Amino acid sequence: MFIFSFLGFLVMASLLALIFRKAGYSGFQIILLFVPIINIALFVWFAITEWPIQKELRELKTRNITPGAV
């Protein structure tokens, strides 16, 4: 039974790391999601701050540059 719990934990951690990396943050920040109380604060911070990828897109739009164009 412990094996299934551990495998579920690994799958969840891997998926959360992918989400953080796609948002432009370090995948190692998911470690904080497994710390009580800090996980709630991190979740709120993650939801309300401007993600690095959004910041880059906003800057590209203000410069009128199409992403991927040479």
Whole-number Å distance between alpha carbons of 23 and 3 = 30
Per-residue pLDDT reduced to its tens digit, 27-40: 888 888 888 999 89
The number of distinct structural domains making up the chain is 1
Structural domain of residue 52, as residue ranges?
2-63
Q: Is residue 68 domain-resident? A: no
Q: What is the largest CA-CA distance in the chain?
A: 55
Whole-number Å distance between alpha carbons of 21 and 53 = 10
Q: Is residue 70 domain-resident? A: no
pTM over 0.75: no
Query: CB neighbours of 52 closer than 8 A, spacing ≥ 6?
Result: 23, 24, 25
Q: What is the mean pLDDT of residues 2-15?
A: 92
Q: Is residue 58 domain-resident? A: yes
